[in-house]
Structure 1
């Protein structure tokens, strides 16, 4: 977990610097309303990114999550318009998510395909099927009682924030206190050793994809009810947001590294970037470029072994002399 600790430390230092600058440049950034808006914005990203963390832990990756989000959002909208109770709407969205997650996991593991190639193909398949089913039309006019999930507040705090905290606590327990969590880390760290120790590697990888799908389904219900409508291209590019949130937070793309706190800090950084740029007076067109720069600097700050790099330069200099 060394890499993850370095990532969290780097993120905390980065946050301190940014907050110090904001305190001088834009004190209004620290208002309670702005804090609630930021937490609301990060809620769906953090919930789904925790699912992506599970996939990354076992050494896989899922780039179809944007399309899965769109499919689950569409399910949420259709069930809500059909007059289904809120619990049924959420369950339906999560069911679609877990089914698509299982499909991804089984295709990757049973067919022994590269995860990024397989899920990239599935991304196009899911998008295409969704356009055929919806005929490219928007889903609007959701019942007001359903919208309370994404727009309601309790004691001044948005309901999605409570859900995010609950999911984070559950995922922390799963990853740190259950056999599932231990298996995720073991499979990602060394699949051969995990297999020799009696762990069903294929099953564990499929479960990781399923967990990712079910959390994307939950995030989709919040997403849909927050905005009150859904279009077929919803979630386009969202896979990079989730992967970035996890990787910036210390999750390794080769497996075995990452935890809940790192993912939350990474998701907070990615989600709050737009708000920070607004307070700095920077055009929103720069958001993607700045996001990429921050991701690069954040990852490089803990990925590069500076001691080894320094020793090489010193050694090289000595040899040149």
Structure 2
């Protein structure tokens, strides 16, 4: 939890610096429309990042989430165009996300494969199957009614923002107030100790992957209805966005550490960087490199134990 507090403090400090610079350099950045646009961009990332947090907490990682997003988006589009009720469309996307999440969990746990290697292979399988199913064509022409989920507003605020707030609150409750949440932390901290305490480690890891799949399925509904068109390579590279959001927010890649608030702030940072860079007039060709540098700096700012560094420098100075 110490790392989580350091991550949140580092992120808040980083936000403060950005805000001060933006006030001085680009005061037009601070508009209600721009704020809601950033929150809208953050909504899908934040929802799916909550699922990635669960996987990271148990000591695993899922790099197939981009392909899972594409599969769920494709499902949403096909069901919506078939004229099915909105609730069926949503449940269909969640079901596909759940199914692929369970498959990921079973492959990793039952075959005892490294999570990165296993989900990387599954990513290619999912992508290949999608291309076969869709024949590489776009899915367009979604009914206007379903588009309200991603494009509608309540009191001037996009509906996806409300959905993301509800999901973040729900995930906070699950991870902090339920047995599932305690099991995630326990398994990630020490699998042997968790097993000895009566926790079904394999089942807990599978559940974490399943939750991740469901969260991606929900994000896919928002993604599809927001843009109104889906292509087979949707979500390409999205896994790095989710992993970055979680790690920047203080989640450990070796398990046992992570916090909902930190991951949400991480998702907000990763999602807002593009808009900030536009206001700074930075060429789009540099955007990914600048984002990577900022993420590296933000992680390093709480990963390095400055007390130990200071002690070593002081000790070295005394010897001299």
TM over 0.5: yes
Alpha-carbon offset, residue 6 of structure 1: 0.1
- Tell me what 2:284 maps to: 284
Partner of 1:161: 161
Stretch deviating more after TM superposition (20-29 or 62-71): 20-29
User: SS of 1:234's equivalent?
Assistant: coil
Aligned to 2:206: 206
> 1:62-73, aligned counterparts within 5 Å?
62-73=62-73
Report what 1:113 is aligned to. Answer: 113
Give the deviation of 1:318 after TM superposition. Answer: 4.2
Write the mapping of 1:163-202 to structure 2, written as runs, cut at 5 A. Answer: 163-202=163-202
2:300 alignment partner, SS class: helix
Cα deviation 1:1-35 (Å, max 9, x = unaligned): 10011000000000001001111111111100100
Match of 1:304 in 2: 304
C-alpha deviation, 1:59, in angstroms: 0.4
Q: How far apart, in 1, do the equivalents of 2:147 and 2:207 lie?
A: 31
Alignment correspondent of 1:245:
245
SS in 2 for 1:47: helix
Please list, as runs of the form range in 1=range in 2, the aligned pairs for 1:53-68 lying within 5 A after superposition: 53-68=53-68
Matches within 5 A, 1:260-275: 260-275=260-275
1:134 corresponds in structure 2 to 134
- Equivalent residue for 2:215? 215
CA–CA separation in structure 1 for the residues paired with 2:199 and 2:73: 35
Q: In 1, Cα distance between the equivalents of 2:262 and 2:35?
A: 19
For 1:31-62, what per-residue CA distance to the aligned partner results, in whole angstroms no more than 9, with x for missing partners? 00100000000000000000000000000000
Q: Distance in 1 between matches of 2:198 and 2:270?
A: 38
Name the residue aligned to 1:148.
148
User: Larger deviation: 110-119 or 281-290?
Assistant: 281-290
Unaligned runs of 5+ residues in structure 1 are: none
Give the SS at the match of 1:76. helix
Match of 1:36 in 2: 36
In 1, distance between residues paired with 2:273 and 2:283? 12
Distance in 1, matches of 2:283 and 2:28, equals 19
Separation of aligned partners in 1, 2:124 and 2:318: 54
1:310 is displaced (CA, Å) by 2.2
Whole-angstrom distance in 2 between the partners of 1:39 and 1:234: 21
Cα distance, 1:317 vs. partner? 4.3
Match of 1:98 in 2: 98
Structure 2 unaligned segments of length 5 or more: list them.
none
Distance 2:259 2:318 in 1: 41
User: d(CA) in 2 for partners of 1:56 and 1:230?
Assistant: 28
Deviations, residues 95-145 of structure 1 (Å, cap 9, x unaligned)? 000000000001000111100010000010100011011110000010011
Deviation, structure 1 residue 282? 1.1
Residue 79 of structure 1 aligns with which residue? 79
**Alpha-carbon distance in 1 for matches of 2:145, 2:196:** 52
Structure 1 CA distance for aligned equivalents of residues 318 and 59 of structure 2:
40
Structure 1 position 10 matched with structure 2 position 10 = yes
1:225 matched residue in structure 2? 225
CA distance in 1, matches of 2:121, 2:317: 49
Query: Aligned Cα RMSD in Å?
Result: 0.8
Q: How many residues align?
A: 320
